[in-house]
Structure 1
Amino acid sequence: MKITILGAGAIGSLWAIALQPQHDVQVWTRSSITRYPLTFQSLSGKVRTYCFDANHIDHLQQSDLLLVTVKSFQVITALHPLINDLSARCKIVIMHNGIGSHDAVKQLFPKHTIYYATTSHAALKTAESTLRHTGLGQTFIGPLSSVISTDNSIADMFNQALSPCYWQDDIMEPLWKKLAINCAINPLTAINQCTNGELANEGYQAQLIQICNEVTLVMRAEGYRIKNGELYQQALTVIKATADNYSSMNRDVFYQRPTEIDYITGYLIHQAKIFDIAVPVNTQLWQTITSMESSYHA
């Protein structure tokens, strides 16, 4: 396939490397570069250099797939300039933390086949053109609307590139489960400027349990069957598996960049209000992060 990856951050770069052996891949960036060099260190420690085409309009116009890996709050702004250059047959895959961009994406591309995906593979850009794969994970992908597509071949393609990848008829369920993990890990590691692994300490357990219990209540109201303690155990598993990693929100706060808090904890709070469910612990975390963001340039 001819693929354009919109966003050359850690996850976008990781998928570019994974897809490149079998597909014609370019990256699309905010700059006007035409080549994107990348030094990649795999989980085994092996180092290899790559160089991708970048920002070629003809490649974009011929693309069979557009993989969008920018941050949640950047999705619509990043997609707008590409509207007239995407062919009607180009499939669009949105992959970001949190939930909340889907309605705007549907309005932007009413005739395109749109998929959402979530991945727990971890990667870190240590410099502008240096990338490390820092943790194995799994990817889930499914159509934004079950009416649009039941073709799961795209999941097979992603699975061949960076396994495992699973097809989901209802992509919102894994998106919600990933949201729960993000609600638990991201704000706490950002506020305390700690690694994911430090959240395994006893002092964080009561707060983690409360966060996950609140998400459980909202997910049940949304119609998902979630057992008591299930989300907390999943969060602990991720915390231990990515113990040495810094969450994306941790890095955003460290570098005084906008965070995805409104699409993670903010989305949870929004849905909780619809069902009249109190989520005080998550609300406090949202208030703290938004206050930190507002103080960046005060």
Structure 2
Amino acid sequence: MQFTIVGAGSIGCLWAASLAKVHSVHLWTRDTQLHREFTFTPLDRKTITVAPTQLKLPSNQALRLQQSDCVLITVKAFQVAQAIEAIQPWLAPSTPIVIMHNGMGSQAVALQKLPHNPILYATTSQAAFKPQPDHVQHTGIGQTWLGAINPAAQHLHNLADEFNNVLAPCQWHQDIQQPLWQKLAINCAINPLTALHQCKNGELTQQKYQTALMNICQEVAEIMCAEGYLTTAETLKEQADQVIQATANNFSSMNQDVCHHRQTEIDYITGHIVRCGQHYNIRTPFNAQLWQQIKTMEQKAS
């Protein structure tokens, strides 16, 4: 298959390197370079040295975008609209679009801007890191879920198989909103606190953070129940604790965005909870406070 990946961040490059083992891969980025080179270090799964590979992929070539069998958009949530606008002139209406980012809230924009294309959303717990701008390191294995958000994409189960072949585990989900909400709950628990306190994920196991984590999970659980995804604060807290322990040495993406004075995805993570609370008339004071604190940090950095 021919894939175009929009966005050359750590996750975009992870999927590019993985798909390139089997398929033809083309990158679409914000610059005009016709090729993109980077070093990819696979995850060391068997405690043996894994040699980095050097990749040189075509990029920003309109003909390759036109000929793509699938477009995977891996930009941040607030960049989705701009990314779609950038590629739209060369997109065939039958080309499947897969959108993968942290948080929720971009679906309406995607459906409005691409009314004819099959649109799928993906959520992944695969982890990658860029120690240098042209070096991508696979740092953690996790589940990827893929599913349709419009009728035109309902038949595309084979894409989950293709993703699973190159970067397992990946499975199709009949209701992709369910794993999206699960991932959002974990992001709500971990990302704002690690950004606010500029700490690694593992530091959230300390006693001083437990009340905050439970307050976040309580509000998120109420919103999820209103959305039809029944859960409890205790269940979400347990899931968040598992991820905190599994990724103890990692810095969250929001932590890194704040550290490097970049715009965060807070509006699509905690902000999404706050907006849903307003919609359902459910109070979310703790998440609202976190949202405001991160927005203040963003404004000071800009």
TM range (shorter): over 0.9
Mapping 1:1-298, distance limit 5 Å: 1-44=1-44, 45-46=49-50, 47-146=52-151, 148-297=153-302
| Cα separation, 1, equivalents of 2:2 and 2:137 | 25
Deviation at 1:272, TM superposition (A): 1.1
1:162 is aligned with what amino acid? L
**Unaligned 5+ runs, structure 1:** none
Deviation at 1:141, TM superposition (A): 0.7
Deviation at 1:81, TM superposition (A): 2.1
Q: Which runs of 4+ in 1 moved over 2 A?
A: 145-148
Deviation at 1:210, TM superposition (A): 1.1
- 8 Å CA contact 1:216–1:226 kept in 2: the answer is yes
Deviation at 1:202, TM superposition (A): 1.5
SS at match of 1:223: coil
SS at match of 1:49: strand
- 8 Å CA contact 2:120–2:153 kept in 1: the answer is no
SS at match of 1:137: coil
Q: Which is worse superposed, 221-230 or 256-265?
A: 221-230
2:30 is aligned with what amino acid? R
- 8 Å CA contact 2:220–2:233 kept in 1: the answer is no
| Cα separation, 2, equivalents of 1:85 and 1:49 | 29
| Cα separation, 1, equivalents of 2:43 and 2:90 | 36
- 8 Å CA contact 2:96–2:153 kept in 1: the answer is no
**Alpha-carbon deviations, 1:209-260, whole Å to 9, x = none?**
1111110110001111214411111111111111111111101100111100
2:240 is aligned with what amino acid? A
1:177 is aligned with what amino acid? Q
| Cα separation, 2, equivalents of 1:105 and 1:147 | 14
Q: TM-score, normalised by structure 1?
A: 0.97
Residue identity over aligned pairs, in percent, reads 47
Q: TM-score, normalised by structure 2?
A: 0.96
Change (3 A) 1:265 1:228: closer
| Cα separation, 2, equivalents of 1:31 and 1:41 | 24
- 8 Å CA contact 1:116–1:141 kept in 2: the answer is yes
